[in-house]
Structure 1
Amino acid sequence: MPFDVVVAFFILGVVAKLMRAELTFPKGLSQTLTLFLMIAIGLKGGVALADHAHTTLITQALAVIAFGVVLPFIAFPILTYFGQLSKVDAASIAAHYGSVSVGTYAVAVAVLDSQSIAYEAYFPLFVVLLELPAIAVGVFLAKGASLGSERGKLLHEIFCSQGIVLMLGGLIIGWMWGEQTQQIMPFFKELFHGILALFLLDMGLVAASRLSFLKSTGSFIATFGVIMPLIGSLLGGLLGNLLDLSVGGITLLAVLGASASYIAVPAALRVALPKANMSLSITASLAVTFPFNVLVGIPIYISYGHWLAILG
């Protein structure tokens, strides 16, 4: 089969939307699927963290945070110089591409599991860490160091966003309660792929619905939505190799570098950058980058991970 079975559900969603089929997800269900994936990823990472915590992990975590800081600085000049976007819009999009997509990460994990490719089990920690620095850099690029009265609101949106609360909370619960989490793991582990399939079906519908807006924004957003993931994955894979990660670990760091946020960052930037055109950011991340990564990028990143591992 050319695609993993869960990816097939994304294609189904896109096709259904393009055919104008009467298929919609209740808002509450869409939210529930997202919450489930965040908690499941955090829990599994926390349990693994309890078993694999070591001093090297601190170095890796700091390197991942630095990676999250660098990515927006790469995206920003591309957006302003080649895309001729305003400073605020460019900073907003750069922040989205410096952060991560939980959905893309979940798909990558499912594909690696299906191919029996090992990866560091504590990787959800890196997912959480990469949610934070890009937002701060995006605001800095747009406004400089001054936030004034908005600082408190921004910090609240960052640290109290559902992605951070649920993934970090799940990580802490899995880490502190360890073996006791086995009582609930049949729900979060056994149902993971089924929930992911439903999530991707919904994402297919959403991505296809954004295609009409993509036509009105010109070719630059579409081009950037492909080029930037390739740049991020290239750097992420090199960093993973430098950190001596496994083939799966190199692949996942490439995936995180290639993905773009559509949950945590939009919520935070609505407060910090109210004048930014969020439609540009969401369209780029959901209508271009997410489909590209799910359908084309992840297989490329897996091959890239194997290649880097061979080179040593």
Structure 2
Amino acid sequence: MNPLVDPAILFFVFGVFAGLVKSNLEIPPAISRFLSLYLLMALGLKGGFALAQSGLTPQVAVSLSLAVFLAVLVPWLSYQWLRRLLSGFDAAALAATYGSVSAVTFITAMNHLETHGLAYGGHMAAAMALMESPAIIFAVLMANRLRGQMAQTAPAGGPRMPIGKVLHESFTDGAQLLLLGAMLIGMLSGDAGQRAMQPFSGDLFKGMLAFFLLDMGLMAARNLPGLRGQSLWLMVYGLLAPLTHASMALALCWTLGVPQGDAVLLMVLAASASYIAVPAVLRYALPEANPSLYVGLSLGLTFPFNILLGIPLYAHVASVALGG
């Protein structure tokens, strides 16, 4: 199926259109939250069922280690470049946003692979969970460092954010716990659990994803105004960063012999940018940063780019490079 005529993708496009024409169409926040939790729960179950069949192998360890490495490398490299364009706090916040991951982009990519019959490992759901927190920790460390430098010249600098508190909130976040818990339940219940949950985690999945992408389209349209007045170089970053990060992931996957399906998902994870979990933490961890910048760029530009063009592009390039 052409990704641009996939019903889920078309609902995203329709949501963007409805938002741009200022329609009063909206998804109630409680429904949006439910859809998000459903998708994470279904994703975790799918991953757990797959892991119950394949087991924990050296290849699984390679993919998970690579995911953690990318989660550390991407925000560090992003900060080095963004510091040339932005204040330290804005650069740290944007680096964290692009160093973390988008669950919806990942789920859409997974749906793309299933539609095209390309296998991937169930452990990739765990890879997504592992890639969320390192960027947040990096941003808080950089912010504390900047506050320390400011305090030397201006004692009224902002308070340091305790790393322990950040670690606790990162690893006990409800959405992340649900994903990991559902994956564990899938592993423990195995084939019997998969048959029992098929109507929930299988048959309903496509429709729920389409409904959620409709809401994401509306949100993307609402965040486009946040891009007004921003530097052209930041717009370029919002488009080139996902391509660069995906290329880094592909090179590492090619070097380490990661299977094609897993490589595509690692490319998507590296290319995606968080617009929910990380911004929520940054609002209190880095109050000095501008939320309209990191939310507007990630949700208004990078997210639509990845959903409409990036995912099929990454899949095609991985197919050529890895001989699929």
TM-score band by shorter chain is over 0.9
Q: Distance in 2 between matches of 1:278 and 1:259?
A: 18
How far did residue 55 of structure 1 move? 3.3
For 1:205, the equivalent position in structure 2 comes to 218
For 2:125, the equivalent position in structure 1 comes to 124
Q: Is 1:40 aligned with 2:52?
A: no
Equivalent pair of 1:132/1:158 in contact (CA under 8 Å): yes
The one-letter code of the counterpart of 2:98 is: Y
- SS of alignment partner, residue 267 of structure 2: helix
Q: After superposing the two structures, state which structure 1 stretch, 257-266 or 284-293, moved more.
A: 257-266
Q: Distance in 1 between matches of 2:3 and 2:68?
A: 34
Q: After superposing the two structures, state which structure 1 stretch, 186-195 or 268-277, moved more.
A: 268-277
For 1:176, the equivalent position in structure 2 comes to 188
For 1:243, the equivalent position in structure 2 comes to 256
Q: After superposing the two structures, state which structure 1 stretch, 224-233 or 42-51, moved more.
A: 42-51
Equivalent pair of 1:120/1:245 in contact (CA under 8 Å): no
Q: Tell me: CA distance 1:149–1:124, structure 2 relative to 1, closer, same or farther (3 Å).
A: closer
- SS of alignment partner, residue 154 of structure 1: helix
Equivalent pair of 1:150/1:271 in contact (CA under 8 Å): no
1:98-117 equivalences under 5 Å are: 98-117=99-118
Q: Is 1:69 aligned with 2:72?
A: yes
How far did residue 10 of structure 1 move? 0.6
For 2:171, the equivalent position in structure 1 comes to 159
The one-letter code of the counterpart of 2:21 is: M
Q: After superposing the two structures, state which structure 1 stretch, 291-300 or 273-282, moved more.
A: 273-282
Identity among equivalent pairs (%): 40
How far did residue 74 of structure 1 move? 1.3
User: Following TM superposition, where does structure 1 have runs of at least 4 consecutive aligned residues deviating by more than 4 angstroms?
Assistant: 145-149
1:86-131 Cα offsets, whole Å, 9 max, x none, are 1111111101111110000111111111111222232111111111
| Aligned match for 2:30, one of 11, 21, 28 | 28
- SS of alignment partner, residue 83 of structure 2: helix
Note the aligned Cα RMSD (angstroms).
1.9
Equivalent pair of 1:154/1:271 in contact (CA under 8 Å): no
Radius of gyration: which is bigger? 2
1:28-62 Cα offsets, whole Å, 9 max, x none, are 01111111111111111122122221133223322
- SS of alignment partner, residue 27 of structure 2: coil
Q: Is 1:291 aligned with 2:304?
A: yes
Q: Is 1:260 aligned with 2:273?
A: yes
Paired residues, number: 309
1:9-31 Cα offsets, whole Å, 9 max, x none, are 11000111112222011010111
* TM-score normalised over the length of structure 1: 0.93
Q: Distance in 2 between matches of 1:180 and 1:95?
A: 40
The one-letter code of the counterpart of 1:299 is: P
Equivalent pair of 1:97/1:259 in contact (CA under 8 Å): yes
Q: Distance in 1 between matches of 2:199 and 2:119?
A: 21
1:236-295 Cα offsets, whole Å, 9 max, x none, are 112222332222221111111100011221222233222222221111110011000011
How far did residue 2 of structure 1 move? 5.8
How far did residue 153 of structure 1 move? 2.5
Q: Is 1:301 aligned with 2:323?
A: no
For 2:204, the equivalent position in structure 1 comes to 191
The one-letter code of the counterpart of 1:249 is: D
Q: Distance in 1 between matches of 2:125 and 2:161?
A: 33
| Aligned match for 1:277, one of 286, 290, 303 | 290
The one-letter code of the counterpart of 1:119 is: Y
Q: Distance in 2 between matches of 1:168 and 1:254?
A: 21
Equivalent pair of 1:92/1:273 in contact (CA under 8 Å): yes
Q: Distance in 1 between matches of 2:90 and 2:275?
A: 15
- SS of alignment partner, residue 131 of structure 2: helix
How far did residue 141 of structure 1 move? 2.5
Equivalent pair of 1:150/1:272 in contact (CA under 8 Å): no
Q: Is 1:144 aligned with 2:157?
A: no
Equivalent pair of 1:262/1:282 in contact (CA under 8 Å): yes
Q: Tell me: CA distance 1:243–1:17, structure 2 relative to 1, closer, same or farther (3 Å).
A: same
1:11-22 equivalences under 5 Å are: 11-22=13-24
Equivalent pair of 2:137/2:163 in contact (CA under 8 Å): no
Equivalent pair of 2:161/2:285 in contact (CA under 8 Å): no
Q: Distance in 1 between matches of 2:115 and 2:139?
A: 36
User: Please, which runs of 5 or more residues in structure 1 have no aligned partner?
Assistant: none
